[in-house]
Each structure stands twice: as structure tokens, then as C-alpha cells.
Amino acid sequence: MFRKTVEDLLQNALNERQNLFLIDFVLSGDNAIKIVIDGDNGVLVEDCMFISRAIEHNIDRDEHDFSLEVLSSGAATPLTLPRQYKKHVGRNLEIITLDSQDLEGELIDVNDQGVVLKWKTREPKPVGKGKVTVTKEANVTFENIKEAKVKIKF
């Protein structure tokens, strides 16, 4: 009953702010609520406050004792939903595939099936000695992604 109430309030808040979406929702046995959100254009502190208030202000504290934590998905947090990739086009990603391939490159496209990464590498010349710089691309389906993280450059 309490879980359903929280889920309904959360869904109503997300319906009101279409640019936000749920990454994780945990309700522990002691009514500790933890919600992780992300947004198509990132997440502001005001977005977390909006979600928090939408839940907290609509539950009677005399009826239910609970704690509430609303967080944004962090920069070092792995991407888990296809919707998260779109805002990272143009950034570098590190992707580990289900067959343990480790790919790192610029995210150049996101489609319904997966992502396209592009990177430069040095390879031996086809003829003669030495190396030449070549541009590679890889199409990776969402089903084949074990883990994907944005690589932050300083």
C-alpha cells in the first residue's frame, strides 16, 4: 500500500516533468525511499527538489514514518537506459560488451538498436614499414552492452 502510493506520486511527478526519467527506485523495509533520476538535459537541484516535494508533501507523516532521498545519476555512474545515451553524443564513452570487448571512443550516434562509437588508432601500414592513423567505427547494440560510462576529460 505505501509502496503503491509512493510509486503513484513519483509517476505523477515524472509525468509533469517529461524531460526527467527514473533510473532507480528502492524502498527498504524501514520505509527509506531512495530515488535516482536522470534527465534529457541533465538534472538540476530544483528537479530533485520537485520530485522530493511531490512525494513528501502528499504523504501523511502521522500515518507513515519514512525517509526520502532523491538523487541525480552521477557523472561516473554507468549508463543503464537507452534514453541516457542521447545527451552524451559528442562525448567519449567506454563500453564493455558482453563478450568482454573494451571499446572507447566518441559517441557519434544513438538509434533504437544501439550506439555508434568512433575513434582513431595507429595500425601498421598495409605496405611497407611504419604505422598509419586510421579512424574506426563500431556499432554496438544495447543488448550487447555490459557497461557503459562517460569518460570525463580534465
Distance CA(67)–CA(34), nearest Å, equals 8
What is the value of pTM for the model shown?
Answer: 0.80
Q: Give alpha helix (H) positions in 17-67.
A: 45-56
- Which residue shows C-alpha cell 562525448? 91
Q: Do 58 and 87 have their domain in common?
A: no
Residue at a domain's end among 46, 72, 98: 72
Where would I find the beta strands (DSSP E) of 1-154?
Answer: 20-27, 32-39, 67-72, 92-97, 102-110, 114-124, 131-141, 145-150
Q: Are 33 and 68 in contact (CB under 8 A)?
A: yes
pLDDT given at position 154: 74
Task: Give me the domain span that covers residue 103.
Answer: 82-150
Q: Do 67 and 8 have their domain in common?
A: yes
Residue at a domain's end among 17, 47, 72: 72
pLDDT given at position 46: 95
Q: Is 77 inside a domain boundary?
A: no
Residue 37 is part of a domain; what is its CATH number? 3.30.300
Point out the residues of the chain with pLDDT beneath 50.
none
| 32 three-class SS | strand
